[in-house]
Structure formats: C-alpha cells, structure tokens
Structure 1
Amino acid sequence: MGYVRELRKLVGNRPLILPGAVVIILNEQNEILLQHRSDGGWGLPGGIMELGESMEETGRREVQEETGLKVGELELMGIFSGEDYFLKVANGDELYSVTAVYATRDVTGDIVIDGVESLDVQYFPLAALPENLASGSRSYIEPYLSKLKDW
C-alpha cells in the first residue's frame, strides 16, 4: 500500500477515492472463502489497487497475500461505490471505496495464514455466513447469493 501512504503524506486524513477489488472464492461444496481480518471480523480477501495494476491483478495479488492461494479466471460480479462505501478508519483516515467484486472457483495452492492481515481463513456455507461478517463484505456478497448457489 505504498501509493496510499504517499498520498496520505500529502493530504493527511482528508477523504480519498480509493479503488480496490475483492474476490468471492467458492469451493466444490459451494462454500465461500472468508478471512478473519486482523482489523476486525470476517471478510472477503481483497484490498486497494497499487499503481499500474488492473482491478483483476489487484484481486489476484490480494488473495495470494492474504490466503496463499493463486487465482485464475475471474468473473466480474459488480462495482460498488457511493456514499454507502465511505469509511473512516481508526487512525482518522477517510475514504470512499470503489470496489470491484469478482467471483471464481479457479484457485490453486494451499491456504497460508500470514498472521498479519489474516488471523484465520476458512470456507463457510452460503446459507451460514458468520455473524461478524464485515458490513462491506456482506453488501458485496448478498446481491449475488442466488446466482452463486447455481454458479
């Protein structure tokens, strides 16, 4: 996140518009992969775009950093932005996120929990998402639940 750190040196805590990507990963049992984030509850793997990256590259990089898995083919599910995606983080930084939500079943490798961004990573049934699922992740998943069940 070097790009954002550099921006923050210039603008302080003022609101920024930050693009990013998250990935809905489904296994053969139609369960969704979630990570228990060190900064809160459960959520989708993903994060903020770095300079020169495409949205797809952002999603793939973030999944690998946060779960150890490599992602292949991605399907764009939607883009989320606007007032509902305003965040003020613990250090006072403000941002409006513009998030591309992708879905895939095309993953390889073994789950590796880094202990920094991810405290745990596990699959959950679509009908039994954890109670402490981050509100942003919930809003990214819920519009697609019926489609994902048949996907």
Structure 2
Amino acid sequence: MIRIAVIDGQGGGIGATVIKRIKEVYGERVEVWALGTNAIATSQMMKARANRGATGENAVCHCAGRVDVIVGAVSILLAHSMMGEVTPAMVNAVGASKAHKLILPLTQEPLTVVGAGREPLPHLVDKLVVEHLARHVPPGAEPA
C-alpha cells in the first residue's frame, strides 16, 4: 500500500478536496496522511477521510521522508508562503524527500508557473488523482 502525504495550510480546503477525490477513486487501497501547517488545516483534511493526520513543522519534516508521494499546492515549495505558515525547514524536507511530488499550480504568492493553464480546482484535482497518482498506485488498486 502506498502512503500519500497531502500537505496544506490556512483553511485546508485544497488538501480536503484532494483527499476526498483520492478516497473516492482509491478508497482504502491507499493510505493518506494529512499534514497541516496548522490545526484547522489538519482538521479539515481529517474530515475528508485522511487515514492519519499531524500538524506543524516537525510533523511535515518527520513525515516527508516516510511517504511515497507528496501532494500539495506549489506553495509547499516556497519558504514563508501561506502567510508564513510554510517554514524553510518544511520546504527543505519536502525537497529532500525521495517521494514523488505532485504539485498543483495554485498559490496566493507573487508567482507565475509559466506553461500552467488556469483550470478550476476540481479539474486539476481530477488530473492529479486519475492521471498522475495512478502511476504510483500498485496494480490491483487502479482507479474505479
């Protein structure tokens, strides 16, 4: 079974949307870890049916090296993003992790991802879960 870490902060809405879709498609064939930069984000992702949850810098740093896939908005790669919730240590842990990173081109930071189209969140999440995540899920756990 693969472990997928979903990292989100602030209100946890993007992470919760991603987790709901992962669970719709793969159910309990994958283990999803909700890693929130704050307690509200973690709580929202747990309500979306994550298997495990943890909050804060140490949780992100500790867990980043223990998962197979990391999912999040591009902000998880930018120190001090999400109004300062993403610390340099978190960015370093995500970057140093051997996990495959599936990054959504969404941010409130002054950043433009050249070549990334502006699609609604549900469309981006569908592509992430059905097209890209499927490559990392073992045989027998394909999307429904």
- Return the TM-score normalized by structure 1: 0.25
- Name the structure where strand makes up a greater proportion of residues: 1
Of structures 1 and 2, the larger Rg is shown by 1
- Return the TM-score normalized by structure 2: 0.26
Structure with more contact order per residue of length (Cα contacts < 8 Å, sep ≥ 6): 1
- Name the structure where helix makes up a greater proportion of residues: 2
